[in-house]
Structure 1
Amino acid sequence: MSMRTDVVVIGGGQSGLAAGYHLRRLGVDSVILDAQATPGGAWQHAWDSLRLFSPAAYSSLPGRLMPPQSGQTYPDAAHVVEYLADYEKRYELPVRRGVRVSAVHRDGAFLRVGTDCGDWRARAVISATGTWTRPFLPAVPGRREYTGRQLHTVEYESPAAFAGQRVIVVGGGNSGAQIAADLAGHADLTWVTRRPPRYLADDIDGRALFDAATARRRALDEGRADTGGVASLGDIVAVPPVRAARDAGLLHARPMFSRLTAAGAEWADGTRSVADAVIWCTGFRPALAHFAALRLRGARGRIATDGTRAVDEPRLHLIGYGDWTGPASATLIGVGRPARDAAREVAALLG
């Protein structure tokens, strides 16, 4: 079975919905294919205590402000899921759920999108699959020898499963800090980072991060010196739970260990620590395996882009993967502009 449309959007999370919103405004026929059974994208799989970095009004998709969450300055993941479900329904976005895309092929004037529910032929494709389905685990010596429990950020839910246990949390970014803060006081915590934690000033949240990312992209586009963007400000946003744990003296980072042993971890100086579990908060890679047949991926597994458009395949746009597809494009507030730009370019291509 083969179906036709002008544009296939792959992924129905925040980025796919933002693209669908702008395509609808431009009158472009499209379909949004999403592997998830229910709305909410990756947010529906987040750990229980996860909080946004910004107040609700500054964490919104185009056209619809996120309503505040009662009693919370920084909304939790469940609130985001409710917002995305409402957004999809409000704008009657053409999402088809439970559809898993396997491959995209060139097919003459079309791109053929293969799925487990049949093929789609489209004149353009917007990919918005994000990174959540591709957790990254570093090649640390001894990782396969360790006999305790190992899990990635995507598998962590709450501290209840680790009460009284000896837990090592690896990672000096926001996920590492938030999960370490979540476990502090519940588990015997060891937090390890490759460099000393760099907290952003307590009054900085996602609004400032978006501005910094945008300023960096503008400087690079204009041939000016790299401002450093978000990285110049720090690595960790001090959301209230992190700030509370830090100020209570519960967050002390140790340097990264040199290897894992059967029972725990060992540092370069020979110090050892026994651990019941290791939680890897070590980031993600873009989920782009469905483009293997197009042979577009280059250095670091990325597809070369001009804005959101793939340099070697102008019918393909990518949004929501990080700064390389738009400033802060992996955030709720940041994806609106790249989604708008991609939709406009696609509409122009379709003529």
Structure 2
Amino acid sequence: MTQSVDVVVVGGGQAGLAAGYHLRRQGIDFTILDADPAPGGAWQHMWDSLHLFSPADHSSLPGRLMPTQPGETYPDTGHVVDYLADYEKRYDLPVQHGARVGAVRRDGDRLLVEADSSTWRARAVISATGTWSRPFVPAVPGRGLFAGRQLHTVNYRRPADFAELGVPPAGGWGRVVVVGGGNSGAQIAADLALAGDVTVTWATRRPPRFLPDDIDGRALFDVATARRRALDAGRGDTGGVASLGDIVAVPPVRAARDAGLLRVQPMFPRLTATGIRWADGSRSDADAIVWCTGFRPALAHLAPLDLRGPRGHVATAGTRAVGEPRLHLLGYGDWTGPASATLIGVGRPARDAARDIAQQLSS
């Protein structure tokens, strides 16, 4: 059965909920289709030790401050999941969980949204599927030959899993190589190193650049916003967050770094059956590799619209797709709004998208 609605939001994580909040304020009839069976978006799938970069009062969606977590300056992922579930319930947002969208197509003056068990005809669509469901692993030569265990950030949960997963013991639970010089690589390398039962090597394409220890998400959001405003005003590029560094020195990362536990090596050119072959020809045995190598936008459902450009992005003006004005993209990164992939940053582009859609529907 095909149902009709003014707007379909694809994705019920933080971006989808922020969109729902502002659509409700505009008096628009909408539904939110979310592939996950429960509230919380990607946060319910993160590793155990992960905490936000920012305090709770600087990590909130529009309309509802995140409450502080007792005993924690920076809330953990469980607290974020509880907050998102409460947000969804508090604003009575029409989220259908377990509804995976397979395709969005043009259908005359409407967009046809095809989900697992339902089809919707909508006057506009907001795509807010994020990146977590599309992990990226580089095509390193020999990756298919490596006989050890390979995980991506999406599969990592805790150091003890290496014992449970049967990584061969080598003075503990094994020898693990963490690949990737961003925040996830630093945090997972620190998590493993501080556990003490794993020998960790951290491989990065360039030397890690730690932000000053007193910098957290509050300052990063302000810097990213200032950069976007400068660019929009035609002023020079300030460099934004990238000009400060790559890695937020959260307490566990600082502790591992200061204790000399983060053993950093330049990225290796090849894997072998038993481990790593380094650029100088030397070899190191490894039992497991954790690829902290990022994500790509999860936009497969938009393939029928034929909008993808370089690097998999869809060209946008604000949040609106240039090639399909009935489609908005929200929460994928700066190309869909300054800091829009963050809890605090997604509110403003969500508001702008809802206003744009309201104007479009009324004209």
Give the TM-score band, short-chain normalised: over 0.9
Aligned partner of 2:101 in structure 1 is 101
Pairs within 5 Å for 1:138-177: 138-162=138-162, 164=172, 165-177=174-186
Give 1:274's aligned residue: 285
Report matched runs for 1:9-28 at 5 Å: 9-28=9-28
Identify the match of residue 312 of structure 2 among 296, 301, 317: 301
Q: Is the 8 A contact 2:200 2:263 kept in 1?
A: no
Q: Shift of residue 54 of structure 1?
A: 0.3
| Aligned residue in 2 for 1:213 | 224
Q: Is the Cα contact below 8 Å between 2:112 and 2:120 reproduced in 1?
A: yes
1:201 aligns with 2:229: no
Q: Identity over aligned residues, as a percent?
A: 76
SS at match of 1:216: helix
How far, CA to CA, are the matches of 2:153 and 2:124 in structure 1? 33
- Structure-1-length-normalised TM-score: 0.99
In structure 1, distance between residues paired with 2:289 and 2:119: 41
> Residue type of the partner of 1:183?
L
1:110 has 2:121 as partner: no
Structure 1 residues not aligned, in runs of 5+: none
Q: SS of the counterpart of 2:160?
A: helix
Q: Which residue of 2 aligns with 1:78?
A: 78
Bigger mean CA offset, 22-31 vs 219-228:
219-228
CA contact (8 A) 1:162 1:186 kept: no
Which residue of the other structure, out of 235, 258, 262, is the alignment partner of 1:224? Answer: 235
CA contact (8 A) 2:124 2:357 kept: yes
Matches of 1:304 and 1:172, distance apart in 2: 28
CA distance in 1, matches of 2:159, 2:233: 47
Paired with 1:88 and 1:158, the residues of 2 have a C-alpha distance of 28
2:25 is the counterpart of 1:35 = no
Q: Deviations over 1:74-131 (max 9, x none)?
A: 1111100000000000000010111010000111110000111121000000000000
Corresponding residue number in structure 1 for 2:197? 186
Q: State the distance in 2 between where 1:186 and 1:230 align.
A: 34
CA distance in 2, matches of 1:255, 1:57: 38
Cα distance in 2, alignment partners of residues 133 and 213 from structure 1: 25
Separation (CA, whole Å) in 1 of partners of 2:357 and 2:181:
38
Residues in 2 aligned to 1:30 and 1:91: alpha-carbon distance in whole angstroms = 13
Q: Give aligned pairs, total.
A: 351
Matched residue SS, 1:83: helix
CA root-mean-square deviation? 0.7
After TM superposition, list the pairs within 5 Å mapping 1:255-270 onto structure 2: 255-270=266-281
- Where do 4+ consecutive residues of structure 1 move more than 3 Å? none
Cα separation, 2, equivalents of 1:198 and 1:42? 26
* AA partner of residue 41 (structure 2): G
- Contact persistence 1:6–1:30 (CA under 8 A): yes
- Cα distance, 1:161 vs structure 2: 1.8
The whole-number CA distance in structure 1 between the counterparts of 2:338 and 2:253 is 25
